[in-house]
Structure 1
């Protein structure tokens, strides 16, 4: 395959700005040289292009950033976004569990998976850690759709033997179906399997032990579940696991707290949990719009930073109110400020890219637009709306980025590229073939 170069303003983060300075990598007139979907050179155009005489150069009109990586999202909940009137546990019973029962039908699951992935690309998201449902067919449908689009995605069958009727498996079927799905999908194309107990209350001790066994037997898979999201949920977990030190310890005793564990929310964590997360290398997917919408609370960035807990950013659709990780970055700023923490716009971008990539163990592949990484990237338009154009006129890079996080949405994404090919073009009104 011939080389192809993309020229424009390029921005990425080499590491978490909270951990070390000089994280920002900004090329005002930069170039990405791509071969077979991989970045082979990046830097100032005047320095890089002379090394590739005759290379075809395409100019990108906007700010080029890594493809966004959603560290926690539920594809079966796409059609329940914005469902009114309840906090977490009642919201699940009233809105979510009835909708998820339909995913026993493979055709329905496939249709929603296609719509969901199209929405991700429209919002600039090129990778994600995704909940399916208890049905194996829902995982098959999602992975098949992701493979057709050549996306880097992680997903897994929900384990839920204490769930409601119609969404209930059992320990034996959970083990057998998970093993079969891992054998079929894990490591295929750009796909990763995630062992997915819904949360502590929906699995028996026997099933949680099986989840731990799956993690131990398949060291490359992820663990994906919920943690300390809602006050009532935490109280019920404490009542059931009365001898556990805290909510995280209820998972830990089953071998579920490892460096490949991603816990969504973590809104109400004691210091002991934060210390254990840091010690294990596990991390939190921060989901600010979901936490606002369900009245769950505000994530404590200062506490997490003090303990050096690994963080990423999640939309948590359908409790979250936007698939845009730009928008969720702005919401994370608001959540942090509520507790006196001023989230820097560059760190918000890191959480949506390199931070989430690190949680998903794909940071060698994506997240920083570094040489040797796959060419998943997004072209942002800081003049996408008249108000945004006014706000960013003459502004610094940090101000422009922050304005897009606070005022931006899917309209701010001009183009989304997957492995160096355009997969979404706003101005062409759709996904590229």
Structure 2
């Protein structure tokens, strides 16, 4: 039986960073896991008289949030006191990731992470795993059990990491290939080729992963780029032959459409031009960038490149994409860029879907797309409710929830057409 959901149904006819805009309807019909129709409630009721009706009143019905850069193995260490990126890795990340040699531990954390994300309205995520193949299995098993569209890959490192977290160029290739063949395209799962970042991979390992990507062009490739200034100096010392940080990937076949780079804060003019020319995507991680003092992302890049939004759990300090939107607004303000609420919402839905080359599947509410939806209560707390009383349009209603909202604002989450 089809479901007819009534409320304020938000979708996008185009990119608000490029002059496109949102669309507001009264109802959406979903059937067999996909959006069937969107429009006025009376018209939808007449066209689908047998549909089961759920009335969400004045709540906002949106595509589910898509978190485009996550480290699910860092779930347990979120909000740990830290200094800079390299200190964070050595003090918290690497010791925690060593524990993922235990498949049972990996499975427990994967399930916990996904339940936390779902509680905050996140319906899809692209995560890094650890060096252990079992950490990929755990993530995909948890996602498959919950019916999620999700991406991950074995994190590859063959230097500048503890012995228990290092592989080799050959084993990185072999393990990644085996996992790709096992999981890519199963249900709603996609494998992502995943070198952690240039400082923890030799040129030989990057080259091996570039070769694997060349052999499997339908996959994405994810890594980190230009997160902190001291990291960039470290890369320069490790790769003296390279023109810049991006060139450490480009020279090894790790730059083209389907490349997804997290952070990308301190880019050179050449790097900006090459990223645009190659059709690569960037992912903005604002709570992480401020939490460990990385810098302020230039949202002006969204007019030239595919840009998504992410919590960067657990370097990021929240599982909530609402809080992440708020942080993106604040970061942009510090750069003199006033983001409209529609642009923030786009980044957390359509923008992240486009960054992951999944805009034909998720990220919007349109006929044929998968029915991953979040229902947001725009009066979830007394503070938010009083801020919306004078609202004269949708965005004056939505903005207080962006800035003040949390998991209490999430009234319902639909995954593949089923209310979870």
**What TM-score does the superposition give when structure 1 sets the normalisation length?**
0.94
- Which deviates more, 182-191 or 57-66? 57-66
Aligned residue in 2 for 1:249: 247
Q: 1:262 aligns with which of 260, 263, 269?
A: 260
* Secondary structure of 1:347's aligned partner: helix
* Secondary structure of 1:414's aligned partner: strand
Q: How far is 1:100 from its partner?
A: 0.4
Q: How does 1:80-229 map to 2 (within 5 A)?
A: 80-162=77-159, 163-229=161-227
Q: How far is 1:20 from its partner?
A: 2.6
Q: How far is 1:412 from its partner?
A: 1.2
Encode CA deviations 1:184-218: one digit per residue, 9 max, x unaligned.
Answer: 10000000000000000000111000110111111
* Paired positions, count: 417
* Secondary structure of 2:114's aligned partner: helix
Aligned residue in 2 for 1:300: 298
- Residues of 1 paired with 2:417 and 2:336: CA distance? 40
Check conservation: 2:67, 2:124, Cα contact below 8 A: yes
For structure 2, which runs of at least 5 residues remain unmatched after alignment?
none
1:410 aligns with 2:413: no
Aligned residue in 2 for 1:49: 45
Check conservation: 1:72, 1:130, Cα contact below 8 A: yes
Aligned residue in 1 for 2:383: 387
Aligned residue in 2 for 1:72: 69
1:360 aligns with 2:356: yes
Check conservation: 1:13, 1:346, Cα contact below 8 A: no
- Which deviates more, 183-192 or 412-421? 412-421
Q: How does 1:285-364 map to 2 (within 5 A)?
A: 285-302=283-300, 304-305=301-302, 308-364=304-360
* Secondary structure of 1:268's aligned partner: coil
- Residues of 2 paired with 1:184 and 1:196: CA distance? 16
Encode CA deviations 1:206-243: one digit per residue, 9 max, x unaligned.
Answer: 10001101111111111011000011001111122223
For structure 1, which runs of at least 5 residues remain unmatched after alignment?
424-433
Q: How far is 1:85 from its partner?
A: 2.8
* Secondary structure of 2:414's aligned partner: strand
- Residues of 1 paired with 2:88 and 2:387: CA distance? 37
Q: How far is 1:36 from its partner?
A: 0.6
* Secondary structure of 1:320's aligned partner: coil
Aligned residue in 2 for 1:427: none
1:240 aligns with 2:238: yes
- Residues of 2 paired with 1:47 and 1:16: CA distance? 27
* Secondary structure of 2:413's aligned partner: strand
- Residues of 2 paired with 1:228 and 1:15: CA distance? 29
Aligned residue in 2 for 1:16: 15
Aligned residue in 2 for 1:430: none
- Residues of 1 paired with 2:211 and 2:188: CA distance? 24
- Residues of 1 paired with 2:36 and 2:271: CA distance? 41
Q: How far is 1:98 from its partner?
A: 0.2
Check conservation: 1:15, 1:354, Cα contact below 8 A: no
- Residues of 2 paired with 1:410 and 1:234: CA distance? 36
- Residues of 1 paired with 2:238 and 2:170: CA distance? 22
- Residues of 2 paired with 1:305 and 1:313: CA distance? 11
Check conservation: 2:2, 2:50, Cα contact below 8 A: no
Check conservation: 1:260, 1:360, Cα contact below 8 A: yes
Encode CA deviations 1:132-162: one digit per residue, 9 max, x unaligned.
Answer: 1010000001101111111000000001011
* Secondary structure of 1:188's aligned partner: coil
Check conservation: 2:192, 2:221, Cα contact below 8 A: yes
Aligned residue in 1 for 2:282: 284
- Residues of 1 paired with 2:50 and 2:170: CA distance? 60
Following TM superposition, the consecutive aligned residue runs of length 4 or more in structure 1 with deviations greater than 6 angstroms are none
Check conservation: 2:7, 2:55, Cα contact below 8 A: yes
- Residues of 1 paired with 2:30 and 2:381: CA distance? 31
* Secondary structure of 1:6's aligned partner: strand
- Residues of 2 paired with 1:332 and 1:176: CA distance? 38
* Secondary structure of 2:366's aligned partner: coil
